[in-house]
Amino acid sequence: MPDKNIIEVNNLVKKFGNLVAVDKISFSVKAGEMFAFLGPNGAGKTTTIKMLTTLLSPTSGEIKVNGFDPTKEKHETRNSFGIVFQDPSLDNELTAYENLDFHGNLYHVEAKLRKERIDYLLRFVGLWDRKDDYVKNFSGGMKRRLEIARGLIHHPKILFLDEPTLGLDPQTRNYMWDYIKRLNKSEKMTVFFTTHYMQEAEQYADRIAIIDHGKIVKQGNLRELKAATKTKSLEAAFLKLTGKEIREEQGNVKDRMRITQRAWGRG
């Protein structure tokens, strides 16, 4: 079934008090697809991902992830995906290797395969010689690479990547995306990602949804988006659809603290 929808979202809403973070969005992602979710800061991307991955319960609307309802069939849903979060999520008091090993264990990756993958991925993200160092001594970029490596230890049906390459240099970004693309092909892994780098979406996404102020303003493949906006690049299409005003990351105190932490390379 090549055209089976592995993610289906219908009229999904999330309110935080008076703030409508996600405003009745609907979309679907086909199995084996690479799907980009683009939008300015505060558009509602992370909130949507949190609802898809059982971390937040929706205010209303329906979700199906790999055929399961994340609000009711939490365990089955969790068995279907892997995720690289936007915010920091490592244990700073453990070493790089221990963080990955912990993850492999939680995801039931059998010991031999776990070691193989961890060794491979640590080399892949250039942290092999730092594997026994505590994560608290890592720079922001090193932590980010480690989080990506961690997300790739088990090979889930669906991989969520929330701004995975933020703050990484172009070389690293390229070879990470190539690796993810290969997994997408070889393992038929569906990839759902957000990014602020338009070129990443242009190059790797089969389909793209653009979200702004909690609403999806356009979705389709690259060609369709450019045609609909009469533009020549995704960047131009994006700006035309979302306007030129600069978005403050409003957020609550906690969000702002995290953002500051990350900006200072301590996240």
Partner 1 sequence: MGAVHVMWLRQIKRYWRSRARMIGMLGQPVLFLLALGFGLGPIFQAAGQGDFISFLSPGIVAMTVLFSAMFSGIEVIWDKQFGFLKETLVAPVSREKIMLGRTLGGATVAMAQGIIVLLITVLIGFRPTWALIIPALLFMFAIAFLFTSFGIAIASKLEDMQAFPLIMNFIIMPIFFLSGALFPLDNIPSILEIITRFNPLTYGVDGLRGALTGVSHLGFALDAGVIVALCAIVFMLGSYLFSKVEI
Ligand X SMILES: Nc1ncnc2c1ncn2[C@@H]1O[C@H](COP(=O)(O)OP(=O)(O)O)[C@@H](O)[C@H]1O
- Contacts with ligand X by CB under 6 A lie at 16, 19, 21, 39, 41-47, 250-252, 255
Binding mask 100-139 for partner 1 (x = CB under 8 A): --xx-xxxx-------------------------------
Query: How far is it, in rounded angstroms, from Cα 94 to Cα 153?
Result: 17
Query: How far is it, in rounded angstroms, from Cα 44 to Cα 38?
Result: 10
With CA atoms as reference, report the closest residue to 218 among 52, 78, 36: 36
Judged by beta carbon, residue 106 or residue 227, the one nearer partner 1 is 106
86 lines the binding site for Mg ion (CB under 5 A): yes
| Angle (CA) 190 106 155, round 5° | 25
Q: Which two tokens stand for residue 21?
A: 């973070």
Judged by beta carbon, residue 22 or residue 122, the one nearer ligand X is 22
* CA dihedral sign, ordered 145, 151, 154, 157: negative
190 lines the binding site for partner 1 (CB under 8 A): no
Question: Side by side, which strands form the sheet with 190-194?
Answer: 81-84, 158-162, 190-194, 34-38, 207-212, 215-220
50 lines the binding site for partner 1 (CB under 8 A): yes
Judged by beta carbon, residue 37 or residue 85, the one nearer partner 1 is 85
Per partner kind, with CB cut-offs from 5 to 8 A, the member of ligand X, partner 1, Mg ion, none near residue 251 is ligand X
Shortest Cβ 106–partner 1 spacing (Å): 4
Judged by beta carbon, residue 28 or residue 41, the one nearer ligand X is 41
| Contacting residue, 29, 38, 83, 148, with partner 1 by CB under 8 A | 83
Binding mask 215-254 for partner 1 (x = CB under 8 A): ---------------------------------------x
Altogether, the residues listed in the chain come to a count of 267
Part of the chain binding Mg ion (CB under 5 A), chosen from 69-77, 86-94, 107-115, 227-235: 86-94
Q: Is 200 helix (H, G, I), strand (E, B) or coil?
A: helix
Question: b or e along 185-210 (b: 16 or more beta carbons within 10 Å of the residue's beta carbon)?
Answer: eeeebbbbbbbebbebbbebbbbbbb
Judged by beta carbon, residue 16 or residue 175, the one nearer ligand X is 16
Query: Cα–Cα distances in Å, from 50 out to 8, 116, 186, 209, 265?
Result: 15, 30, 27, 17, 24
Query: How far is it, in rounded angstroms, from Cα 251 to Cα 259?
Result: 10
55 lines the binding site for partner 1 (CB under 8 A): yes
Q: Are strands 5-16 and 158-162 parallel, antiparallel or unpaired?
A: unpaired
Part of the chain binding Mg ion (CB under 5 A), chosen from 1-9, 79-87, 105-113, 183-191: 79-87
Nearest residue by C-beta to Mg ion? Answer: 46
Judged by beta carbon, residue 117 or residue 143, the one nearer Mg ion is 143
Q: Point out which residues bind partner 1 (CB under 8 A).
A: 50, 53-57, 75, 78-79, 81, 83, 85, 87-94, 98, 102-103, 105-108, 254, 258, 267
